[in-house]
Amino acid sequence: MVGLRVSAVIIKHETEPEILLIRHRRRGRSYPVLPGGKMEDGETVEKALIREVREESGLDIVMGNLLFVADVIEPGQTRHMVNLVFSGTIVGGEFRPTLHGSPSPIEKGDQAYFLPLAALEEENLHPPIAAHILAAYGNGFQDAAGCLGNVWKEFGEDGSLGR
């Protein structure tokens, strides 16, 4: 079964550029990921991304453009995740480094933190896309693609797409 995960590259510029990361603790391991998570049924990509970032960090964001699509397939194809990675801009909220009242017992040990962007390649990001993030940032996210949102249209009685 293929899972879908949305995540955000969120960079703040106070003194030096810093990227928001989440330290996950799963199955006896600890590793950093971009903020984000799985989509819920009936949820748009944008709403899922905004919800996940808020749940994990307390921050409110505006979703930017799609930066990458990355497959993560474990050997033996026992697990397959498709990651949609977007840019994001902080527009409010209150930063919380640790989760309080998380809906998931798995997430209770997670921790949000800002890391200087210059140290990203040394952070062992999962999946390993740090070099791609740095290249996209260096290019001002110019090669980004837009997200079209929900484009569902009903078919007309004659089989054509409704308007």
Q: What is the pTM for the complete model shown?
A: 0.85
Domain extent listing, the chain? 2-138
Residue 72 is predicted with a pLDDT of 83
Please provide the DSSP assignment of 82-94 as one string: EEEEEEEEEEEE-
Question: What are 102-160's pLDDT values in tens digits?
Answer: 555 445 568 999 999 999 999 989 888 999 999 999 988 887 776 666 666 666 676 66
- Which region holds residue 76: left if phi is over 0, alpha if psi is between -120 and 50, else beta? left
First vs last Cα of the chain: how many Å apart? 34
Question: How distant, in Å, are the alpha carbons of 75, 91, 151 from that of 33?
Answer: 20, 21, 29
Looking at 3.40.50.2300, 3.90.79.10, 3.30.43.10, 3.40.50.300, the CATH number of the domain 2-138 comes to: 3.90.79.10
Higher pLDDT, 42 or 100: 42
Residue 88 CB neighbours (<10 A) = 26
Q: Is it the case that residue 77 has pLDDT exceeding 80? A: no
Residue 25 is predicted with a pLDDT of 79
